[in-house]
Structure 1
């Protein structure tokens, strides 16, 4: 059984995201899938840096799905103790995920704007990483997630799941199907 750890963060001083809808759609898709018994979904909300590290320790996931805000070179945006935005540097994320690659982490999905920089760094250690090369709207982010996990739930591999996510965006007529990018570990 593969554990999917969903980490969500939408600080109070940032734009509101429909993270609940994204997580609900992922959960519903996996529950109805043919391979539903092969996945266990875990969730952490309002994630702070310590929550990220502890969730990885607690659940030892094979797949990590982050939904929230990204800020390009400034990193992913988590929350501080007061719910305000706290950027987490790319190098710190890459180093953290590097340790969990040895513990079975196979795939990281960064469903956040401008997260390609983090995806590049993390892909040095993790086999499959999805990031966004631009801003991505809520509807496109949700459709990508739904398509990605529908494919995994049907028994397909990560590359197929990535393509299924992009197809799900395109089929809705949302012109953001080229925003998600798949990075693969090269060595």
Structure 2
């Protein structure tokens, strides 16, 4: 009887020792968190993305963002050089002057076309302000120019055969008005012939 009881006591003591050892191991060992399968898979996917070069955006995209800085001031626009103003048109040429109803008029050639102008008329971008025997006062903008009858005088001097013979002076000394009138008639005849030759040459 004693042997079976002794064996039973030994067995119970062994069981008690094993239980005590298991409890002691549970108390001493650190708590290991139990992860769910879903959380474990999410963690693995995050780690795979962190180390996957194809999933991460390339660094070149960040360079583009740096280049396109929205807070950066745009560069100033280049200053375009101002173009030079066009040159003014050439001055008209005085071909001659004539008297029409006691009013002196000028024969001006502009761009190869000769026309008769009176005081105040516009030609070649300007205005004829005054007409004299052998010159014209021409105003364009703020500039006033004097156009002389050079071509007509040179043409008349080069063809003396066309100059009419001087009028014979009657007996008695003529007055100054008669002399001036005759001189004016000769000058107008020269200018008229020079104007006709210039007009025919342009045609």
The TM-score normalised by the length of structure 1 is 0.23
Highest Rg: 1 or 2? 2
Higher relative contact order (CA 8 A, sep 6+): 1
Give the TM-score of the pair, scaled to structure 2.
Answer: 0.22
